[in-house]
Each structure stands twice: as C-alpha cells, then as structure tokens.
Amino acid sequence: MDTLEILDVPMLAPTQKHPIVFKTFDDLQEGTSFIFKNDHDPIPLFYEMKAERGDTFIWEKLENGPENWKVKITKTKSAKEETTSTLIGNTTAKKEENLYELNVTLLESKLKHPTIFKHFDSLRSDEGFYILNDHDPKPLYYQLIAERGNVFTWKYEEQGPIWWKVLIQKNNADEGPTLGELAAADIRKAEVFKKYGLDFCCGGKKSLKQACEENNLDAAKIEKELREASETKSRNASFDFNRWSLDFLADYILNQHHQYWYDEEPVISDLVKKVVGHHGANHAELQNVASLYTTIKQELDAHFIKEERVLFPHIKELVRAKQSNTVPAISIQNINEPLQLMEADHEAAGEILVELRKVTNDYTLPEDACNSFGLLYHKLKALEEDLHQHIHLENNILFPKSARLHEELLKLN
C-alpha cells in the first residue's frame, strides 16, 4: 500500500480538488489504485464520481475521521464488488434490494439537484436508484418533469417524519405504448383506464405493464377489456382529436377547456366561501378543500396565461410555417423546454385533484349537507373530469405532435 500514489487533497486549491482527483483516476490502468487524504468526509466526491464515471471503481475507506479521512480508489471493469463502507450495486429496478442509494443530505446544497440529475441521465430504460432526504423532495419531482419530461416513475418508500426515501426509475421504452398513447389513439380505452383508476393524462407516460404493476392490477384482464372497448361503437366518434390540425386543437382547448374554467371558477369560488362559512365549524375537511382550491386556482390562472400568450401562438406559427414551407417567425430554440414546463404544471394540478378527492372522501356528502354543499362537490368533481380531458389532449396529443413538428421544421432549415 505504501507504493501507491497518495494525493493530499487539503493541499490543493479548492477549485482544483475534484478535477485533480478525477484526472488521477482517469490516468489509472484497470486494476490499479491511488489513495487520497482529506480533512473531512469525502462522500460528496464519491457521489460525483458515481454519477460521472459510473460503476468503474471501488471506493474503500482506510481512515474514517474524525480529523483525517483516507480513501483508496481502484479502477475496475466490474462494479459488482461491495466495499465495507458503501454499497455499489446493480441499479436495475427489478432487483430493488440492490439499488444504489444516494443520501442527499450528505451533499452540499448546490450539488444536490445536479448530482441527482447526473444519476438519472446515466440510467438506462427500466433502471433506477433511491434518494434519501430529510424532507419531502417533491420540488425535485416537478423539476425532473420540467427538465427531462414525464419519463420516469417516482415511488415513495418512506415519507417522514424524519426520512424520505424515493425510488426514481426511468421508464422502459420497450414495454409498448404508454397509457397516454393508447388513449390518444382510441379514446374509448380511456374509459377502461378510468374504471381502474389508471392515470392516462398526468401520469400518461407509463406503459400499461408498469402502471398495472404499480397499482397491483391484472394486466392481462385490463388488456382484454381494452380490446373489447376498441370494438364497441364510440359515442364520440366525431371527436377524433388525433386527426385534428394542431392549430385547431389548440383553439378547441382554449374555447372548450380554458373557457370552462373561466365560467366555472367564480361560481366555485363563491360556493367554497359560502359552504365553508356555513359548515366549516362542523366539517374540518372543508378548510382543506378551501386551501386546495385556492392553490389550484392560482396554478391554473398562471398556467392558462402561459399557454394563451406564449405556447399556443408558437404552435400556430409552427403550423403556418409547415403550410407555407417557411421558417417560423417565432423563434424558440427547443420547444421541449416549454412543453415540459407545462407538463410540470399539469402534474402539480393533478396532485391537487388527488388531494381533493382524498379530503372529500371521493366527494361523498355528509348527512347534513345542504344544497350548496352538494352543488360544490358536484362542481369540483366536474372540474376534475374536465381537467383530466384537458390535460390528456395536451400531454398525449398536442404536445408530442408539436414537438415532432418542431423537429421536422428544424431539419428543413
């Protein structure tokens, strides 16, 4: 061991510490090692190496503080070995007991999300890892959707009060069409998804197999019902949204779903105020209803403005450019970014709808409910149904088709 190169990290300039460790590692031959010394636990470096070099090294602590830390790093082709201090395991989600666990609390604040994103980007389809945190990492969930798209599964294993543990798994693109794609191709299948509580709008990027596994459902049984549904006569045969032009579909969403919100929002707001005032003392859940409704109102008002003033005009410009074979007048470097931000908004709204269902016990009225109480729950349930259809049209038809059109126009230029 004395013959190994020893790197004294505290002697290096702060900006050079990690780069020099990486260079020293990269210069190693397979099967060889070096040792570095530090004056604090170098676990952030381990996570950074794991994210950027993958399963190409063994990390062995020789000294573990409290004043000095010494680590031996060995370059190896295989990462199946485990050290006494850290598990470096198979990240395939099928073997959850061996999944790599990233303890976010050990990272500097500025490194937390970048390190998680590096781990996620290095995953192959159907692979995953755990993150461990000391508070709910839900903001990361929305950031992942906004920056990478709705292409992953987020599953809580622990939810406080001290530790939160989440399994993040990249969706398997080889498992067939997603729920959203199935519903977009044949809206009759959406009724089957609704029957079993399968989310084909906000969570529509999951395959049928994946969604059934997560909800402990019989995939074969549901596949049979989907085939039967496709053979029945649709009551909405004239509404084949997949065949509509994108500019027409955007206008339909604006006139049908945005206008629905503008018409219903003042009515629901008035009902919330009235029902909470009359029944709030006897039904504590109404305070939660009022809070959740206020939140979703703020979310939707801001979301619709972004769609109406930015996204929809851009989509219409793409359609005009395609029709005239010209360069779009509106320039957006990558339409996927605003589309993913819209999907993140959809996810946030979807979470609120789920909570509203929970606190109202699936909109079940109490025995002393008055007519206004009943009308409020009826209106909230109708809003949920309208938003599900709205989000389905955008997430599963308008957005992916707009992204493909944008890519097509880029190739022409």
Instruction: Specify the CATH number of the domain 89-174.
Output: 3.30.110.40
Q: For residues 308-324, give the mean pLDDT.
A: 91
Mean pLDDT (the chain) is: 84
Q: What pLDDT is stored for residue 381 in this prediction?
A: 94
- 385 pLDDT higher than 70: yes
Distances (CA, A) of 65 to 11, 40, 69, 70, 84: 17, 7, 5, 8, 16
Paired tokens of 215: 């909800």
Q: For residues 374-379, give the mean pLDDT.
A: 95
Q: What pLDDT is stored for residue 276 in this prediction?
A: 95
Could you give the count of Cα atoms lying within 13 Å of 234 in the half-sphere of its Cβ? 15
DSSP three-state, residue 61: strand
> Tokens 């769609």 label which residue?
307
Same fold, 1-88 and 89-174: yes
Q: What pLDDT is stored for residue 89 in this prediction?
A: 32
Q: What pLDDT is stored for residue 259 in this prediction?
A: 96
Q: For residues 293-309, give the mean pLDDT.
A: 95
pLDDT-above-70 percentage for the chain: 89
- 296 pLDDT higher than 80: yes
- 175-227 pLDDT tens trace: 778 888 888 888 788 888 888 888 888 766 788 888 888 888 998 899 889 88
Going from N- to C-terminal start, the domains of the chain cover 1-88, 89-174, 179-231, 241-412
The whole-angstrom separation of Cα 151 and Cα 203 is 9
- Beginning with the edge strand found earlier in the chain, give each strand of the sheet holding 101-103 in spatial order: 101-103, 128-133, 164-170, 152-159
Predicted confidence band at 257 (pLDDT cuts at 50, 70, 90)?
very high
The whole-angstrom separation of Cα 348 and Cα 352 is 7
Predicted confidence band at 91 (pLDDT cuts at 50, 70, 90)?
very low
Check residue 202 and report its DSSP letter: T
pLDDT-above-90 percentage for the chain: 38
Q: Could you tell me how many residues make up the chain?
A: 413
State whether CATH 3.30.200.20 applies to domain 1-88: no
- In this structure, the strands spanning 33-38 and 152-159 are unpaired
More confident residue, 353 or 66: 353
- Beginning with the edge strand found earlier in the chain, give each strand of the sheet holding 33-38 in spatial order: 6-8, 33-38, 69-75, 57-64
- 357 pLDDT higher than 70: yes
The answer to whether 71 and 34 have CB atoms below 8 angstroms apart is no
